[in-house]
């Protein structure tokens, strides 16, 4: 079949997706299922903002994919709608603190807030105090209440400490006209434990926990979306159930389930099937996993790649690899590809990061008289290892 006729054929064929965007993580459904209680609480806590009183600061905990972000966005949306109808000067700002180069440092977070108020501040070169005073000026210019939602706030403090949170809680003392309330969202359930007590007490005036969804709930949520996302009859029976079961096993992460469903759909579509079958789900799961790992690996900087390549070179022969061995191999790799050789100290950190990313499994063991080291194992399946090795080799040549 020629390319042209392939395109023709492609156009003719109707997709069994009706609206794929429903399955993307940015989709905001008209109704949030199984979070009634949480929604009610959040609404209760934030409602005073409508009367221009400062709502209590709120802290929301819950594992990934438990609907935290979705719920908050949902609330903010209806809150703003009400405020708009009644001409209430209310401003809601949602910031994801994890986004690189957007809000992952104190300076950038404030800069981002300034942007939300319609002004710009240079990306660097200014003292942080300067940026703060610009922000104060902007926010205090006209009387209003600001709701500041900091998503993935634990990432922020992990990187740069909790000083910034202290500064944020102190903002109100500096303001004459306006008031600002903080809503922190964290994936880490024990986040506040290693926080400055002053910060902790003022930040968590109210606390809320989002429990994981169970399998039945995940099913309903998937169903709610699948009905609009797919053409009628596009799903083989049992697909949603199986998808939900996968996710429930992974501590109730709905986002994973939705991703899985979308990828399975794309897969099924690509191989020309009329329906989304159970087999596609299995394949999708493999694909999701290996894609994310490959992607993580090849977007790493050169030095990281060199380290990973070193690991992959040794790992087939041995079950357990130690830091020292990796470092030796790494050094020769560096010399071959004209990279400068980093310290073992640095490599140690890089290995720790790979562990966090889930590319390797590392645990610290003591070999008694023979020292202490990371015990590193590659958990990827053989096929993936080969593929990765190839990609890394190519990348390091260039």
Q: Closer to DNA at the Cβ: 17 or 330?
A: 330
Q: Closer to DNA at the Cβ: 114 or 264?
A: 114
Q: Closer to DNA at the Cβ: 246 or 327?
A: 327
Cα distances (angstroms) measured from residue 131 to each of 93, 95, 138, 230, 308: 18, 17, 11, 47, 40
Q: Closer to DNA at the Cβ: 188 or 344?
A: 344
Classify residue 272 as exposed, middle or buried by CB count within 10 Å of its CB (0-12, 13-18, 19+).
exposed
Is 75:46 a contact under the CB 8 Å cutoff? yes
Cβ count near 100 (within 10 Å):
8
Distance CA 71, CA 69 (A): 5
Q: Closer to DNA at the Cβ: 276 or 347?
A: 347
DSSP letters spanning 27-79: ---SS-TT-HHHHHHHHHHHGGGGGTPPPPPEEEEE-TTSSHHHHHHHHHHHH
Biggest alpha carbon–alpha carbon distance for the chain:
73
DSSP letters spanning 266-280: HHHHHTT-SSB-HHH
Vertex 95 angle, CA 91 and 99, to 5° = 160
Distance CA 93, CA 182 (A): 10
Q: Closer to DNA at the Cβ: 227 or 356?
A: 356
Q: Closer to DNA at the Cβ: 157 or 373?
A: 373
In the complex, least distance from residue 267 CB atom to DNA, rounded to whole angstroms: 34
Is 259:243 a contact under the CB 8 Å cutoff? no
Q: Which two tokens stand for residue 202?
A: 């003022």
Q: Which two tokens stand for residue 99?
A: 């986004």
Distance CA 138, CA 171 (A): 13
Q: Closer to DNA at the Cβ: 352 or 377?
A: 352
Nearest alpha-carbon partner for 25 in 195, 189, 179, 151: 151
Q: Are strands 321-322 and 206-210 parallel, antiparallel or unpaired?
A: unpaired
Cβ count near 111 (within 10 Å):
23
Quickly tell me which residue has 């950038």 as its tokens: 108
Q: Closer to DNA at the Cβ: 59 or 354?
A: 354
Residue 219: phi and psi, rounded to 5, are -55, -45
In the complex, least distance from residue 367 CB atom to DNA, rounded to whole angstroms: 6
Q: Closer to DNA at the Cβ: 66 or 323?
A: 323
Chain residues in the site for DNA (CB under 7 A): 100-101, 104-108, 122-128, 301, 303, 322-325, 340-346, 348-349, 351-352, 364, 366-374
């Amino acid at each position: 079949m020629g390319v042209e006729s392939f395109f023709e054929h492609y156009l003719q064929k109707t997709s069994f997706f009706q609206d794929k965007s429903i399955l993307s993580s940015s989709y905001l459904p008209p109704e949030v299922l199984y979070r009634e209680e949480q929604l009610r609480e959040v609404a209760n806590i934030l409602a005073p903002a409508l009367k221009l009183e400062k709502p209590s600061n709120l802290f929301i905990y819950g594992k990934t994919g438990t609907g935290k972000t979705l719920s908050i966005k949902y609330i903010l949306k209806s809150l703003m709608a009400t405020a708009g109808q009644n001409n209430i000067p209310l401003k809601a700002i949602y910031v994801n603190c994890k986004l690189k180069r957007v809000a992952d440092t104190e300076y950038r977070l404030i800069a981002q807030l300034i942007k939300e108020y319609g002004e710009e501040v240079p990306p660097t070169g200014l003292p942080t105090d300067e940026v703060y005073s610009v922000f104060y000026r902007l926010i205090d210019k006209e009387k209003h209440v600001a709701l500041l939602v900091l998503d993935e706030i634990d990432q922020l403090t992990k990187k740069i400490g909790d000083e910034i949170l202290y500064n944020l809680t102190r903002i109100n003392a500096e303001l004459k006209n306006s008031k600002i309330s903080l809503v922190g969202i964290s994936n880490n359930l024990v986040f506040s434990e290693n926080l400055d007590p002053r910060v902790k007490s003022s930040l968590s005036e109210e606390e809320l926990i989002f429990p994981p969804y169970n399998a039945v709930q995940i099913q309903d949520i998937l169903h709610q979306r699948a009905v609009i996302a797919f053409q009628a009859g596009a799903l083989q029976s049992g697909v949603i159930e199986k998808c939900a079961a996968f996710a429930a096993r992974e501590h109730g992460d709905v986002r994973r389930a939705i991703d899985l469903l979308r990828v399975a759909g794309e897969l099924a579509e690509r191989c020309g099937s009329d329906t989304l079958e159970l087999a596609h789900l299995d394949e999708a799961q493999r694909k999701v996993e290996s894609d994310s790992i490959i992607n993580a690996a090849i977007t790493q900087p050169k030095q990281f790649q060199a380290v990973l390549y070193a690991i992959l070179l040794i790992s087939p022969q041995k079950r357990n690899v130690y830091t020292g061995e990796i470092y030796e191999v790494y050094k020769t790799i560096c010399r071959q590809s004209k990279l400068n050789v980093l310290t073992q100290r640095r490599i140690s950190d890089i290995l720790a990061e790979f562990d966090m990313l889930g590319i390797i499994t590392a645990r610290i063991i003591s070999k008694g008289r023979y020292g202490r080291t990371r015990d590193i194992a590659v958990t990827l399946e053989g096929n993936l290892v080969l593929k990765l090795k190839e990609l890394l080799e190519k990348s390091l040549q260039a």
